[in-house]
């Protein structure tokens, strides 16, 4: 597809709803199917009700809902009202919802029935409760009707509040032009067409799913399916078998769990298999066969499996590569609307996030002379207008020349492929002044069969790792102890200590002297994570 020529998201939506009028657009796993023309009718009806409350140009409207076919209708109703959408993640608490609603100065909120209890009814808001595309309740606290005005490319389409690993939510102001430009660039990574079927499993309030999982298929005339239940293994596999998607966007955790808990144990469950798997040729053959089986479980039509939001475990990616599974790893951030780099499945290279997206620039600022690693800077029309009500922070992050300082460390190879090396603020300075990248050590730990997740940090000159064990694997490994005498608990604690010592040795045998762990401690509860499954490091360090 050629570069998109829309000047705003209103034009993009109306173009698609007319061009693909009778094509299924928004489906769910309960049998609901909404065509592009039906979506247009429902969106226009809701937009009119929004405008009747007096909401108009540049006013803010919160969207608080789980993923479903009605979320895009709510969003584009806001856009067709000439207003600005403020999507809020459905797992935010009622206090967070109130805080962000107040901070954004929203005049209205579109809310699903499930999320309605989180709304503070004392706020001066127009409340639209949506169920099955009907306005169940509409309370107007505003009086004058507005006239539809022209939407400019520079107008703010969305304010997306990030709940990042810093613990400080910030409102990212993304313009219509930001989204259109980034969506256009996505076609160089993901060649989408009218026959594609998307399965949406990530929150639409996140820029990753919104741009690549909604705007991209919409302008191509594709169909999008939403699940009515969270995407766990028990719900995801049957849904994929029925929907038979061609395209999915995920975070690393989904495929890591499938490989670590489902595929690899079957490849190594006998002495013969383990011997074969320990050879390069044997492993590649077994991965190839497992990949064919996985494609069938995914419905047999998958041709693009996007992974983003966090770093993918190296062993899992090696499996995907050797299995010839059509995966693609992307790199981006909300502030870039969001995609910065990526490659089509046929062009992926191990451990790389691909090449810079078309019509953007990236460079490595102040690279280390020895390693070439430095901060990744990005520039293009997709870069945000700034943080809402935070001009000082905006100026810190975006240079006068328009470069976005991502805060991520990486290196660029001569062939244009980008490799991510960690977060700038997470770097640990070693005793001899060398840089230690905790994410690299965590990646090694997470490959171990008994580890679910890990976090590495420095304290008093020592490297410490917190690990959350894979309880199921741990109990299976020591199942025979349950048959033992009354001192079972004491024996289990001893085994945990043994495992922690084993993990320390496992890591220290694979890293240089400065990156060796001094202590490995247990993290009994799962780490709290962001919506893109990054550990909220600030809670544990």
Q: For the chain, what percent of residues have pLDDT higher than 90?
A: 70
Secondary structure (DSSP) of 65-95: --SSTHHHHHHHHHHHTT-EEEEE-TTS-HH
Blockwise average pLDDT, block size 10, the chain, 541 residues: 85 98 95 96 94 94 96 97 95 89 95 93 88 54 56 96 64 98 94 96 94 98 93 82 95 88 92 95 97 96 93 92 97 96 96 95 95 96 96 96 96 96 86 80 90 92 92 72 60 85 94 90 91 83 81
Specify the long-range contacts of residues 280-285, CB closer than 8 Å, at least 24 apart: 283/322, 284/322
Nearest partner of 448 among 489, 529, 505, judged by Cα: 505
State the DSSP code for 35. E
**CATH class belonging to 427-539:** alpha beta
Backbone dihedral angles phi then psi of residue 156, each to the nearest 5 degrees: -75, 120
Sign, Cα dihedral of 106, 110, 115, 119: positive
Q: Is 373 helix (H, G, I), strand (E, B) or coil?
A: coil
Angle, CA 34 vertex, CA 31 and CA 37 arms, to 5°: 160
Region of residue 90 (phi > 0: left; psi between -120 and 50: alpha; otherwise: beta): alpha
Contact predicate 216/190, CB 8 Å = yes
Q: Is 412 helix (H, G, I), strand (E, B) or coil?
A: strand
Beta bridge partners of 328: 306
pLDDT in tens, 301-340: 999 999 998 888 889 999 999 999 999 999 999 999 999 9
Nearest partner of 57 among 75, 82, 76, judged by Cα: 82
Contact predicate 504/520, CB 8 Å = yes
The CATH fold of domain 9-188: Rossmann fold (3.40.50)
Domain positions in the chain? 9-188, 337-425, 427-539
Task: Name the H helices within 278-313.
Answer: 280-297
Where does residue 78 rank: exposed (0-12), middle (13-18), buried (19+ CB within 10 A)? buried
Alpha-carbon span 471 to 479, nearest angstrom: 12
Contact predicate 533/477, CB 8 Å = no
Contact predicate 158/69, CB 8 Å = no
Structure tokens at 17: 């709803």
How many residues are recorded in the chain?
Answer: 541
What's the pLDDT at 417?
A: 97
Q: How many other CB atoms are there within 10 angstroms of residue 356's CB atom?
A: 25
What's the pLDDT at 484?
A: 54
What's the pLDDT at 167?
A: 52
Nearest partner of 299 among 235, 376, 216, 241, judged by Cα: 241
Q: How many other CB atoms are there within 10 angstroms of residue 383's CB atom?
A: 23
Alpha-carbon span 39 to 67, nearest angstrom: 16
| H or E element at residue 520 | strand 519-522
What's the pLDDT at 486?
A: 58
Residues 6+ apart with CB under 8 A from 294: 258, 263, 323, 325
What's the pLDDT at 165?
A: 43
What's the pLDDT at 482?
A: 57
Q: Whole-prediction pTM value?
A: 0.86
Alpha-carbon span 416 to 412, nearest angstrom: 6
Instruction: Report helix angle 9-19 to 36-52, nearest 10.
Output: 140
Structure tokens at 137: 């309740």
Nearest partner of 417 among 306, 310, 341, judged by Cα: 341
Contact predicate 199/243, CB 8 Å = yes
Alpha-carbon span 172 to 178, nearest angstrom: 12
**CATH class belonging to 337-425:** mainly beta
Contact predicate 424/442, CB 8 Å = no
Give the distance from CA 220 to its chain's centroid: 22
């Amino acid at each position: 597809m050629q570069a998109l020529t829309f000047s705003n998201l209103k034009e993009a939506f109306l173009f698609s709803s007319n061009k693909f009028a009778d094509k299924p657009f928004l489906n769910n796993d309960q049998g609901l199917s909404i065509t592009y023309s039906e979506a247009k009718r429902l969106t226009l009806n809701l937009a009119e009700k929004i405008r009747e409350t007096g909401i108009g140009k540049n006013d803010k409207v919160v969207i608080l809902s789980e993923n479903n076919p009605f979320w895009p209708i709510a969003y584009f109703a806001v856009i067709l009202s000439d207003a600005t959408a403020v999507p809020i993640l459905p797992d935010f608490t009622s206090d967070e919802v109130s805080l962000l609603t107040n901070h954004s100065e929203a005049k209205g909120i579109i809310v699903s029935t499930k999320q309605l209890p989180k709304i503070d009814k004392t706020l001066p808001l127009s409340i639209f409760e949506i169920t099955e595309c009907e306005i169940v309740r509409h309370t107007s606290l505003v009086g004058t009707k507005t006239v539809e005005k022209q939407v400019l490319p520079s107008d703010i389409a969305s304010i997306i509040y990030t709940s990042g690993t810093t613990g400080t939510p910030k409102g990212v102001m993304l313009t219509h032009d930001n989204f259109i430009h980034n969506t256009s660039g996505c076609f160089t990574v993901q060649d989408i067409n009218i026959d594609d079927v998307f399965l949406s499993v990530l929150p639409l309030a996140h820029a990753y799913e919104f741009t690549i999982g909604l705007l991209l298929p919409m302008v191509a005339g594709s169909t999008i399916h939403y699940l009515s239940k969270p995407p766990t293994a028990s719900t995801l596999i049957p849904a994929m078998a029925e929907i038979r998607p061609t395209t999915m966007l995920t975070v690393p955790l989904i495929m890591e769990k499938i490989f670590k808990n489902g595929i690899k144990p079957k490849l190594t469950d006998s002495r013969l298999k383990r011997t074969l798997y320990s050879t390069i040729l044997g492993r590649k053959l077994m991965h190839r066969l497992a990949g064919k089986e996985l494609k069938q479980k995914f419905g047999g039509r998958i041709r693009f499996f996007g992974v983003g939001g966090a770093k993918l475990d190296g062993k899992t990616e090696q499996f995907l590569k050797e299995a010839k599974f059509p995966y693609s790893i992307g790199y981006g951030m909300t502030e870039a609307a969001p995609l910065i780099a990526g490659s089509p499945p046929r062009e992926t290279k191990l451990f790389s996030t691909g090449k810079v997206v078309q019509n953007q620039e990236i460079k490595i600022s102040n690279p280390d002379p020895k390693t070439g690693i430095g901060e990744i800077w990005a520039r293009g029309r997709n870069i945000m207008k700034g943080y809402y009500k935070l001009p000082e922070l905006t100026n810190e992050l975006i240079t006068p020349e328009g470069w976005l300082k991502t805060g991520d460390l990486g290196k660029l190879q001569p062939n244009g492929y980008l490799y991510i090396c960690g977060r700038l603020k997470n770097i640990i300075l070693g005793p001899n002044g060398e840089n230690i990248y905790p994410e690299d050590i965590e990646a090694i730990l997470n490959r171990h069969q008994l580890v679910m997740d890990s976090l590495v940090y420095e304290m008093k000159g020592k490297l410490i790792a917190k690990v959350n064990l894979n309880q199921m694997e741990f109990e299976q490994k020591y199942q025979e102890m349950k048959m033992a005498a009354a001192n079972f608990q004491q024996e289990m604690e001893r085994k945990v200590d043994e495992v922690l010592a084993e993990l320390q040795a496992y890591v220290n045998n694979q890293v240089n002297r400065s990156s060796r762990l001094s202590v490995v401690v247990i993290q009994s509860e799962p780490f709290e994570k962001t919506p893109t499954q990054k550990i909220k490091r600030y809670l544990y360090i």
